[in-house]
Amino acid sequence: MNRVKNEGTQPFITQPVFNNWEAVPLGWYLLGPAAAVRTRRVQPYELCGQRVVVFRGEDGRLRALDAFCPHMGTDLAIGRVESNQLRCFFHHWRFDGDGACTDVPCGEPIPTRARTQSYDVREKYGFIWIWPDSHAASDVPGFPELEGAEVYAMAGRTMTRPCHPTVNMINGLDAQHLRTVHRIPLEMTLKTEEESDGRTIEFRMEAVLPSATWLQRLVRTVLGERYAYSMRYVDATVGLLRTLEDVRWFGRWRAEPTRMIFAYTPLATGKGQVQPIYIAQRPAGVVGRLASWSRLALTVAGFVWLRDEDGKIYENIRFQPNALLKIDAGVARFIQYVNRLSLSRWSSRVDPADPAA
Ligand code: FES
Ligand SMILES: [Fe+2]
C-alpha cells in the first residue's frame, strides 16, 4: 500500500466494506493454480489477513485449515500429510479435513479444544478456491447460461496491484473511461440489475456504434449497429465479463459473446491479486472447437490491449467517493452493493455498520 496519505488535506473516508482491508465479505477467493498442491502435499496461502494451509490427501481431494496448530500454534504448513489428514510437525497431533484432532500420540486423551477452523475449498477452472468458512453458500460462480456446459478455461497472467480489489473492480463498470483512456468513442447507457440475495449485481453497458469516420463505418459494417458488454459481480470476489453482446457479424449473424472471469483476492501484503480466466464453450466437433478457440484468441487480444492501458490507474490510486457525478452512477451503485455484503469471520472489524468502532 502507498505510504503517502495526504491525511491532513484529503482525509480518507472509511467505508463499511468497499476499499476496506478489514472487512472480508463471504465469497469464493482464488488461491492459486490447482497443480500447485500435489497429492500428499501441503501448501500455505496468505490472504485477507489470514494464513491457511491447503493439503491434498491420498484420495486426491483438497482440504483447507487455519494454518496454526491449536496446540501451541506451530505452522501446519511444515506438517506432513498422512492419508487424508495433516499431522503437525511439533508434537504430531493429527487433524482431519473438518479441523478435528484425531490423534494425540503422547498418550493423553484428545482435549476438547483440539480443533481448528476448516474451510470449504474447491477446484474449478484449473484453480483452487476457498470460502472463508467451513460450508460455502454456493458453488464457485460461473456464467449462468453456461451452467452444466463443458467449457475451456484458460488462465491469463496474474496481476497484483497495490490497491484494494474492490477499487480495481470499478474498472469493469466505468463506461466513461472507454472514451477518456481507451479513446473508444462510445456513448454507453447503463442498466443495473441486482439479485434479491444481495450477492450478485450485473451492469450492462449498451451503445449504438457511431458512423462518423470511415473506420467507425468499417467497424459498424463488421459488428452491426449495436454493441454491449456486461459485468456481473458475485460477492465482490468474482467478476464475470461478457463482451460482444448484441453484436451481429456484418449486421446478420448473432455473435456469441466473449467471456472472462476475474477473481479478486486481497493478499496479506496489502496488494490486490487479479486473476483473469478466459472462458469459452467446448462444443463437440472440429468446426465448433475451432470457433471456440478463435473466440478465446479474440478475447485474449482484446483484454491485453485494454489491460495495458488501464494498468497505471491502479498502481497508485487513492479512491474517494465524494465527488462522483451522474455519469458515475454505476460506480456509486457498486459501492452501495459492496457495502451491504455479508461479512465473513475473516473480518477484523467489530461492527461493520460503524466504521469508527
Ligand atoms: S504445536 Fe502442533 S502438536 Fe504441538
Ligand atoms: Fe479499461
What CATH number should be reported for the domain holding residue 56? Answer: 2.102.10.10
Inform me whether the pLDDT recorded for 332 exceeds 90.
yes
Furthest-apart CA atoms within the chain: distance in Å: 83
pLDDT score recorded for residue 235: 97
Mean pLDDT of the chain: 91
Residue 72 Cα: closest atom of ligand 1:
1
Of the bound ligands, which one is closest to the alpha carbon of residue 89? 1
- Taking alpha carbons only, the member of 330, 306, 338 closest to residue 204 is 330
In terms of residue numbers, what domain contains 189? 144-339
Residue 79 Cα: closest atom of ligand 1:
2
Residue 73 Cα: closest atom of ligand 1:
1
Does 15 map to a domain?
A: no
- Does residue 218 line the site of ligand 1, with CB under 6 A? no
Per-residue b/e over 262-273, b at no fewer than 16 CB within 10 Å? bbbbbeeeebbb
Q: Which tens digit of pLDDT belongs to each residue from 313-328?
A: 988 899 988 899 999 9
Inform me whether the pLDDT recorded for 12 exceeds 80.
yes
- Does residue 74 line the site of ligand 1, with CB under 6 A? yes
Does 218 map to a domain?
A: yes
Q: Which tens digit of pLDDT belongs to each residue from 69-104?
A: 999 999 999 999 999 999 999 999 999 999 999 999
| Domain match, 199 and 319 both | yes
pLDDT score recorded for residue 252: 84
Domain final residue pick, 101, 131, 161: 131
| Domain match, 111 and 156 both | no
| Domain match, 163 and 99 both | no
| Domain match, 186 and 314 both | yes
Name the residue at shortest CA distance from atom 4 of ligand 1: 91
Domain final residue pick, 131, 160, 191: 131
Sign of the CA dihedral with 301 first, then 305, 308, and 313 last: negative
| Domain match, 127 and 149 both | no
Domain count, the chain: 2
> Rounded to the nearest whole angstrom, what is the distance from the C-alpha of residue 156 to the centroid of ligand 2?
16
Ligand 1 pocket test: pick from 86, 88, 108, 115 the residue with the most ligand atoms within 8 Å of its Cβ. 88
% of the chain beyond a pLDDT of 90: 64
Domain final residue pick, 131, 152, 172: 131
Q: Which tens digit of pLDDT belongs to each residue from 141-184?
A: 999 999 999 999 999 999 999 999 999 999 888 888 888 998 88
Give the pLDDT band (50/70/90) at residue 283: confident
| Domain match, 185 and 298 both | yes
- Does residue 91 line the site of ligand 1, with CB under 6 A? yes
Query: Helices marked H in 181-285 — which ranges?
Result: 214-223
Does 202 map to a domain?
A: yes
Give the integer Cα–Cα distance in Å for 49 and 58: 30
Q: What is the CATH number of the domain that holds 266?
A: 3.90.380.10
Cα-based distances in Å from 77 to 68, 102, 135: 9, 18, 22
| Domain match, 99 and 183 both | no
- Does residue 88 line the site of ligand 1, with CB under 6 A? yes
Q: Which tens digit of pLDDT belongs to each residue from 117-135?
A: 999 999 999 999 999 999 9
Are the C-beta atoms of 227 and 219 separated by less than 8 Å?
no
- Phi, psi (degrees; rounded to nearest 5) at 118: -105, 165
Instruction: Show Cβ contacts of residue 48 under 8 Å, excluding neighbours closer than 6 positions.
Output: 24, 29, 132, 265, 266, 268, 346
Give the pLDDT band (50/70/90) at residue 3: low
Residue 69 Cα: closest atom of ligand 1:
2
Give the integer Cα–Cα distance in Å for 21 and 268: 9
Q: Which residue has the higher pLDDT, 334 or 288?
A: 334
